[in-house]
Amino acid sequence: DIQMTQSPSAMSASVGDRVTITCRASQGISNYLAWFQQKPGKVPKRLIYAASSLMSGVPSRFSGSGSGTEFTLTISSLQPEDFATYYCLQHNSYPLTFGGGTKVGIK
């Protein structure tokens, strides 16, 4: 099984900050990686697919990069509505596996 190690598990940031979240795969997954945002009590929402493609309607301050085993989600200028938990998902092979999540809180 492919393990997804996401870091940090939690962080505090201010509005306007640049935020970077990392996911490492235990083996190469090409670009079969997606990023999701989940706000408390809400349904997860896909932000990024194929490692770097922005889902329609998602603000351009979100971007994804990486291939193989190391991936990054970047929020270029954090907005109040971005405080949430973020998850990566590898879909290179079954079983599909999520990262443990990164909770982005207010500093």
Residue 57 interacts with other proteins (CB under 8 A)? no
Alpha helices in the chain (DSSP H): none
Residue 27 interacts with other proteins (CB under 8 A)? no
Part of the chain binding other proteins (CB under 8 A), chosen from 15-23, 29-37, 57-65, 73-81: 29-37
The residues, ordered by sequence, that sit 6+ positions from 83 with a Cβ below 8 Å of its Cβ are: 39, 104, 105, 106
Residue 55 interacts with other proteins (CB under 8 A)? yes
Residue 68 interacts with other proteins (CB under 8 A)? no
Nearer to other proteins, 16 or 95 (CB): 95
Q: Using an 8 Å Cβ cutoff, are 12 and 105 in contact?
A: yes
Nearer to other proteins, 77 or 93 (CB): 93
Residue 94 interacts with other proteins (CB under 8 A)? yes
Calculate the alpha carbon distances from 51 to 18, 55, 61 in Å.
19, 11, 15
Q: 24: closest CA among 102, 106, 105? A: 102
Q: Which residues would be at the binding site for other proteins (CB under 8 A)? A: 32, 34, 36, 38, 43-46, 49, 55, 87, 89, 91-101
